[in-house]
Structures are given as structure tokens and as C-alpha cells.
């Protein structure tokens, strides 16, 4: 677009772009918030199971989950629940919480599994595991769902601190840290994926978004809230003893979707979501665990869509910069503060009402002109 000459033209363009950016930001929030509310509602049965005893809930969810009948781990006398690993995950989440925010709230969407101390959990060993209830589940996620196999699973565990640190690097706009992750950590875990990610990483676009920060921060805050609210037993239901691997994979793949403007990560996540959905037995009247899985699959797709919407926002911001417009940029914040703000805000994201939280309608894909 040519630089407008008159002050009125500049004023009009500024207003138009600011309006579009505001609409885009609101659309991103609405999508993420509605996905988050749907998921937390569907998680209710898993949440109740977890509250009794985390380790036993984990094992029960793995047993009645999507396991091939012949799964070797069912026959082996082994501990399915890795108390040490989930304990360290819980500690990491505790560090990211607001100081003093340790009590479990009664609000459905504020429920977070890690607030219950994991220290007292017994290590369940020697209990004979039973085959899953679904006959012949044709997949085996015991080494994760993204096809990386045993080696990738081991490396995810090895590099889990770096994986947990990635959202903060993005939220803080730490370009050097992000480069180090993409060029050193990711290749050490899975070289082919790392090459695809680097090829799909539009540096100029991502740098602009890191500078703007706001939309990426919101996206990451919702992502963190999702990982806080999903009890480990959901992953165990899907992946048996590989539950922790599946969680780590998703914690890696989701922020990469934000960093990749190309479709590579989005496609991989879509594929996993489709995989999850096609195992849901009765779509009309799913079992409570299946309903949680179906919502989780929807949520993954919504997060990919919202990441694309964040990328689209960059075009508007970039135009404002090129035209040197006096554009209303949102002040910088951090992940912890943004998460707390989202939890505090009890208004409906769609209409602002304080009577309800959302409209129960999942956003579709609207192509804006
Ligand atoms: Zn409303």
C-alpha cells in the first residue's frame, strides 16, 4: 500500500488497522477460551478420579484405555505411573504459578491437578494390569503419538526441562534462547523434525510477533492453563505407560505450532487429533473418558487455528509499521501475570456478561475479507 499523504488518510488507515487488529485479537481469545471451557467441562470425570488417588487413577485410566489387547506392558509387572516424573512436572507447574496460589478453587475452569501434592503417592508396582476394554485398538501410543519411536521418547524425557522452558522463552521474546532451542535442542531430540521446523520458521514474521508479544502471550497462557488442567490420567488413557511421553510431545509440538508459520507442525497436530477422534466409540453418546478425549482432540485443532490467526495478525501489525502509524500496542506482560488475569476475568468472552462464562458454541472457521 502507498503511504497516505494527508493527515485524514493517515487517521483513517490507523483507525481501520487498529479496528482489524482488535477484532483479530478478540477472535483469538474467543477461540482459545471456548476450547478451554469445553475441555475443562469434559474433564470432570477424570478430575474426580484423580482427586481420590492420582497414581491409582492413572493406572485405571491406562487399563481401560486404548491399548492393543496384546500390549506387552499389560503382561509385564511394571509400574505404569512414574511418580518421580509427574512429581517433577507438578513442581515445574508450581514454579509457574502466582505466589501463594496453591489452593484448589471450586471453580470448574480453575481446577488444576498439580495443586494436590504428589509426594504421598505410593509407587504402584507388582499389580497385575488388565487388558484395555476396547478390543483391538489399532494403535500403540506407548512411545508417543507423533511417530518418533523409542529414541524420541527417551530424548523427550532427557530434555524435558528445555521443553518446559520453551513457552517462557517465547513469552519473553528471548530470540537467542529460541534459536538455541531450534538449532541445538530440537535436533538433539529429533533431527528430521528440527530441519522441517527450521524450514517452516519465518524469522521476520516471528520476530515481529515476539516484539508485539500480546497475542503470543495470550495463546501461551491458554496453552499452559490446558496443561495444568488436564490430569495425567487422560494421557494414560490414550497411551498406557507412554502417558508422560505423550504429554511431553504435546508440550513440545504446541509451542512449535506458534513458531512455525508453515504448515508442518499444524499438519502433524491435526493428524494426531484425527487419530484421537476416530477412536471415540460412540460419537453421539460417548463414554465420559471418550468425551474428554474428543474435546481434547477439538482443542488441539483450535490451538492450531488460533496459532494461524496469530500469524495473520502479524500482517496487520506489519502494515502499521511500514506506514509508521501511531498504533496502539498493548503493554508487555509475562506468562504468570497473563494467566492470572485470564483466571480472574469471570466475564463471558463473547458478550461481556457476568452471568455466564461462554455461549457453549465452538467457533468455526470464518474467512475474514
Ligand atoms: Zn455471553
pLDDT for 320-341, tens place per residue? 888 888 777 778 999 999 998 9
Q: Which one is predicted more confidently, 353 or 122?
A: 353
Average pLDDT of the residues in 39-68: 83
Q: How far is the CA of 72 from the centre of ligand 1 (A)?
A: 49
Q: How far is the CA of 38 from the centre of ligand 1 (A)?
A: 15
Q: How far is the CA of 26 from the centre of ligand 1 (A)?
A: 14
C-alpha to C-alpha distance for 78 and 63, rounded to whole angstroms: 13
pLDDT number for residue 215: 94
CB atoms within 10 A of CB 337: 13
pLDDT band for position 295 (cuts 50, 70, 90):
very high
Q: How far is the CA of 43 from the centre of ligand 1 (A)?
A: 22
Average pLDDT of the residues in 183-202: 96
pLDDT number for residue 285: 80
Closest CA to 299 of 28, 27, 34: 34
Phi-psi region of 77 (alpha: psi -120 to 50; beta: other; left: phi over 0): beta
Q: How far is the CA of 201 from the centre of ligand 1 (A)?
A: 37
Q: How far is the CA of 347 from the centre of ligand 1 (A)?
A: 8
Q: How far is the CA of 354 from the centre of ligand 1 (A)?
A: 8
CB 207 within 8 A of CB 161: no
Q: Report helix angle 288-322 to 203-212, nearest 10.
A: 90
Q: How far is the CA of 106 from the centre of ligand 1 (A)?
A: 21
Q: How far is the CA of 349 from the centre of ligand 1 (A)?
A: 6
C-alpha to C-alpha distance for 323 and 157, rounded to whole angstroms: 47
Q: How far is the CA of 348 from the centre of ligand 1 (A)?
A: 5
Q: How far is the CA of 29 from the centre of ligand 1 (A)?
A: 14
CB 260 within 8 A of CB 266: yes
CB 194 within 8 A of CB 200: no
249-290 tens-digit pLDDT: 999 999 999 999 999 999 999 999 998 888 777 777 888 888
207-237 tens-digit pLDDT: 999 998 999 999 999 999 999 999 999 999 8
pLDDT band for position 343 (cuts 50, 70, 90):
confident
C-alpha to C-alpha distance for 171 and 363, rounded to whole angstroms: 25
Q: How far is the CA of 143 from the centre of ligand 1 (A)?
A: 42
Q: How far is the CA of 24 from the centre of ligand 1 (A)?
A: 18
C-alpha to C-alpha distance for 12 and 17, rounded to whole angstroms: 9
Q: How far is the CA of 53 from the centre of ligand 1 (A)?
A: 36
Q: How far is the CA of 35 from the centre of ligand 1 (A)?
A: 15
Q: How far is the CA of 350 from the centre of ligand 1 (A)?
A: 5
Q: How far is the CA of 37 from the centre of ligand 1 (A)?
A: 13
pTM score, whole prediction: 0.91
User: How deeply is 74 buried, as exposed, middle or buried, from its count of CB atoms within 10 A (0-12, 13-18, 19+)?
Assistant: buried
Decide if pLDDT at 367 tops 60.
no
Amino acid at each position: 500500500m502507498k503511504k497516505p499523504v494527508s493527515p485524514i488518510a493517515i487517521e483513517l488507515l490507523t483507525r481501520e488497522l487498529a479496528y482489524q487488529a482488535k477484532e483479530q485479537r478478540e477472535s483469538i481469545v474467543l477461540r482459545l477460551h471456548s476450547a478451554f471451557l469445553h475441555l475443562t467441562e469434559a474433564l470432570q470425570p477424570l478430575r474426580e478420579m484423580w482427586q481420590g488417588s492420582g497414581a491409582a487413577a492413572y493406572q485405571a485410566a491406562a487399563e481401560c484405555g486404548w491399548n492393543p489387547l496384546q500390549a506387552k506392558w499389560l503382561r509385564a509387572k511394571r509400574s505404569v505411573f512414574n511418580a518421580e516424573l509427574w512429581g517433577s512436572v507438578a513442581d515445574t507447574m508450581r514454579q509457574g504459578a502466582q505466589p501463594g496460589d496453591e489452593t484448589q478453587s471450586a471453580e470448574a475452569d480453575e481446577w488444576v491437578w498439580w495443586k494436590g501434592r504428589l509426594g504421598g503417592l505410593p509407587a504402584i508396582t507388582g499389580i497385575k494390569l488388565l487388558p484395555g476394554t476396547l478390543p483391538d485398538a489399532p494403535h500403540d501410543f506407548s512411545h508417543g503419538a507423533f511417530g518418533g519411536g523409542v529414541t524420541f521418547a527417551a530424548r523427550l524425557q532427557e530434555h524435558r526441562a528445555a521443553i518446559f522452558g520453551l513457552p517462557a522463552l517465547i513469552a519473553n521474546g528471548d530470540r537467542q534462547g529460541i534459536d538455541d532451542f531450534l538449532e541445538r535442542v530440537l535436533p538433539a531430540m529429533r533431527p528430521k523434525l528440527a530441519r522441517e521446523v527450521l524450514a517452516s520458521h519465518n524469522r521476520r514474521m516471528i520476530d515481529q510477533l515476539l516484539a508485539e508479544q500480546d497475542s503470543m502471550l495470550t495463546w501461551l497462557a491458554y496453552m499452559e492453563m490446558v496443561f495444568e488442567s488436564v490430569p495425567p490420567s487422560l494421557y494414560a488413557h490414550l497411551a498406557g505407560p507412554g502417558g508422560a511421553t505423550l504429554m511431553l510431545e504435546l508440550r513440545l509440538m504446541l509451542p512449535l505450532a506458534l513458531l512455525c508459520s508453515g504448515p508442518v507442525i499444524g499438519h502433524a497436530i491435526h493428524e494426531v487429533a484425527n487419530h484421537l477422534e476416530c477412536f471415540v466409540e460412540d460419537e453421539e453418546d460417548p463414554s465420559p473418558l471418550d468425551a474428554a478425549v474428543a474435546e481434547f482432540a477439538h482443542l488441539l485443532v483450535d490451538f492450531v487455528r488460533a496459532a494461524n490467526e496469530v500469524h495473520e495478525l502479524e500482517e496487520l501489525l506489519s502494515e502499521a509499521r511500514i506506514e509508521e502509524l501511531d498504533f496502539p500496542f498493548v503493554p508487555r506482560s509475562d506468562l504468570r501475570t497473563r494467566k492470572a488475569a485470564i483466571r480472574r476475568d469471570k466475564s463471558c468472552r463473547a458478550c461481556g456478561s457476568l452471568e455466564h462464562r461462554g455461549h457453549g458454541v465452538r467457533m468455526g472457521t470464518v474467512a475474514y475479507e
